[in-house]
Structure 1
Amino acid sequence: MELQTSKVRMLLDAEQKPPFLQGLLLSAQHVFAMFGATILVPLILGMPVSVALFASGIGTLIYMVSTQFKVPVYLGSSFAFIQAMAFANSQMNGDVSAAQTGVVLVGLVYVGMALLIRAIGTAWIDRLLPPIVIGPMIMVIGLGLANSAVKNAGFVEGGDIKHILVALVTFLITAFINTKAKGFLKIIPFLFGIIGGYLLAVILGLVDFMPVLQAAWFEVPHLYLPFETGGFFRRYHLYFGAETWAILPVAVV
């Protein structure tokens, strides 16, 4: 039996800088890809979206500098914190002190783990979490999100046909570009899907432009600190009750 091998041509090398227009399109696609998930977490938790965007941007810059720009990763909001932080906020009657303190503690655990890994290396992590373990974990996470995708698309009892239509058109455009397009266009299917779905949503009257027109052009994020500073910084009190410690196990996720 003759084996057939397909040759895949690499459009951009890992360290190759794309032309300006291609870089602009790739950047726009990355912004759209990260934006929904990054703002969804604070919306679910009732926290300021501006803070999530500000913190994720600062965190990404620190990460990029630390890795010498060798790993093109955007650090967005983590869905692992949603349940624990929502529980803490509900138990504290809307007070964010427990949630904020818990997040700070998790951050300290991450810093400690990073220093430990730097001191003793990563060999033990490779033995503890080999690819045969990591692969199925990622698959399970993706399959678990499939249910949310179906519900968000409107495929539920009483769902709006307009929402379903936009979801289907967006998916079909993305799938078509990903499978049929050639060259550079093949690596920006998500951008085409977003643009096509958005234009259809505008045509169907699903887009309200008034909140955009009424929003401020510039706004300082509502930042919280555990001490009084005055100005635009808000204060939260350090709290070490059970609600706080319930967030700490998220550090191992």
Structure 2
Amino acid sequence: MSTKKIIQVDEKVPANLLIPLSLQHTFAMFGASVLVPIIFGIDPSIVLLMNGVATLLFIWITKGKSPAYLGSSFAFIGPTSIIIANQGFEYAQGGFVVLGIIGCIMAFVIHRVGTKWINVVLPPAAMGAVVALIGLELAHLTIQGGSIGANLMTDTATARNFAVFFITLGTAVLGSVLFKGFLSTIPILIAIVVGYISAIAFGMVDFTPVMEASLFTMPHFQLAKFDMNAILTMLPVLLVLTSEHIGHQVVTSNVVGRDLIKDPGLHRSLFADYFASALSGLIGGVPTTTYGENIGVMAITRVYSVRVIAGAAIFSMVMSFFGPLAALISTIPGDVIGGVTFLLYGMIGTSGLRLLVEEKVDYSKSKNLILTSIVFVTGLSGLTVQFAGIQLSGMVLASVVGIILSLSFYLFDKAGWMNETD
């Protein structure tokens, strides 16, 4: 048994720990969250502000029982890019708002009908594989991630890039198993600091953006505009975001040792996620989603307190107004972020395998073997399907395939056609 102290979801955190623990989560989410507005060509400050607001709303709506950081969602990149090219970002915002409202209605329906359907559409044999894919499909970003990871697989990669990557990863790994006491709770933060210092030593950090940044910045607010074509282009993402949300809640449940699907309830967490997305889209931000990077931090540190997550949200909001702070964090090289996420994404993948073990999935049954196998191969094969203007691949496509197979097997079983019985 591990001797690491666990700080549970509802526990208070000592004041001297709160700031470094919160910063650890802020660093973990920053690269991926800021990349989305960069892709869309909008102000990152409004996104950082709304990520913080969304996270605090999520904690409040889920009664402080579900630790999750809400960052910029990648699920919307495909349809949003199409809408921006044809109509402009304001109309994409309108799609975010309408999708968020429909998601809130869906959360109300789930509250009325319950969550037993989850084991029908995604039984453990499929869910465990989907959860594992949340981390595994992101693995390539750790060494070939551009703005959110290292670039070790390109012709321009140098010995310095590899050195910083492995220094960061090595510190995170050794810190997770060797550090004791206070240091054992912040191995990721220490790894980022050590990696950053090594990058400075190798001459890889340019402080010009920090020197040129305005002391005070105001996020760019703009109201959403609505168009039926833009809304219809955005709607298919509903399935994508819902599947991702359920997967993250299952992962987090495994990490913290509590069934968050039941308490505070899937309806509460899903409502919070979609409500935050609608609010963000209404005033100029992007949709939000629970972040795997922050789940990975919790898995390593065993600190699950929502107070720490709330602290990270406040830091994000402060950064949206304080230019030099955001600029300083943006100077952290991708090799540092890649070294950290190399471990974090692996921890998420392991959580899916843990689910399969704890649910005691019986692989002597053909349907379980097929579900896990097909979901894994679909998610990792690189297969891409175009549907209703959006691109389905990776974990999202695997979720859809898993749902179709699971429902088919359920109906076959009810009809008495299966050659095996439970």
TM-score by length of 1: 0.84
What is the CA distance between 1:46 and its match in structure 2?
1.5
Q: Select 2:74's aligned residue among 64, 67, 79.
A: 79
Q: In structure 2, what is the equivalent of residue 234 of structure 1? A: none
Moved more, 114-123 or 64-73: 114-123
Distance across 1 between alignment mates of 2:33 and 2:154: 28
RMSD value over aligned CA atoms? 2.0
Residue 159 in 1 paired to residue 156 in 2? yes
Distance across 1 between alignment mates of 2:135 and 2:4: 28
Relative to 1, partners in 2 of residues 1:172 and 1:7: Cα closer, same or farther, differing over 3 Å?
Answer: closer
Distance across 2 between alignment mates of 1:14 and 1:62: 16
Show CA shifts across 1:209-248 (max 9, x none).
221122122222112213xxxxxxxxxx32222x542221
Structure 2 stretches of 5 or more lacking a match?
241-422
Relative to 1, partners in 2 of residues 1:26 and 1:130: Cα closer, same or farther, differing over 3 Å?
Answer: farther
Q: Select 2:57's aligned residue among 44, 59, 62.
A: 62
Q: In structure 2, what is the equivalent of residue 43 of structure 1? A: 38
**1:251 alignment partner AA:** L
Q: In structure 1, what is the equivalent of residue 287 of structure 2? A: none
Q: In structure 2, what is the equivalent of residue 89 of structure 1? A: 84
**1:63 alignment partner AA:** F
Relative to 1, partners in 2 of residues 1:83 and 1:211: Cα closer, same or farther, differing over 3 Å?
Answer: same
**2:233 alignment partner AA:** A
Distance across 2 between alignment mates of 1:121 and 1:173: 44
Show CA shifts across 1:7-60 (max 9, x none).
545332332212111222211111111212211111122221111111111111
Structure with greater proportional helix content = 2
Partner of 1:225, secondary structure, is coil
Q: In structure 1, what is the equivalent of residue 215 of structure 2? A: 217
Distance across 1 between alignment mates of 2:77 and 2:7: 36
Percent identity for Structure 1 against Structure 2: 36
**2:174 alignment partner AA:** F
Asked if 2 retains the 8 angstrom alpha-carbon contact of 1:29 and 1:191, the reply is yes
Q: In structure 2, what is the equivalent of residue 103 of structure 1? A: 96
Q: In the TM superposition, what are the counterparts of 1:1-253 in structure 2 within 5 Å? A: 6=1, 8-92=3-87, 95-152=88-145, 153-161=150-158, 162-226=160-224, 237-241=225-229, 243-253=230-240
Distance across 2 between alignment mates of 1:29 and 1:9: 18
Distance across 2 between alignment mates of 1:91 and 1:165: 44
What is the CA distance between 1:71 and its match in structure 2?
1.5
Partner of 1:76, secondary structure, is strand
Distance across 2 between alignment mates of 1:78 and 1:169: 29
Relative to 1, partners in 2 of residues 1:10 and 1:128: Cα closer, same or farther, differing over 3 Å?
Answer: farther
Distance across 1 between alignment mates of 2:135 and 2:77: 17
**1:23 alignment partner AA:** L
Asked if 2 retains the 8 angstrom alpha-carbon contact of 1:37 and 1:77, the reply is yes
Distance across 2 between alignment mates of 1:130 and 1:163: 42
Partner of 1:123, secondary structure, is coil
Asked if 2 retains the 8 angstrom alpha-carbon contact of 1:98 and 1:240, the reply is no
What is the CA distance between 1:191 and its match in structure 2?
0.6
Q: In structure 1, what is the equivalent of residue 359 of structure 2? A: none
Distance across 1 between alignment mates of 2:97 and 2:205: 37
Moved more, 48-57 or 11-20: 11-20
Q: In structure 1, what is the equivalent of residue 298 of structure 2? A: none
What is the CA distance between 1:126 and its match in structure 2?
4.3
Asked if 1 retains the 8 angstrom alpha-carbon contact of 2:36 and 2:72, the reply is yes
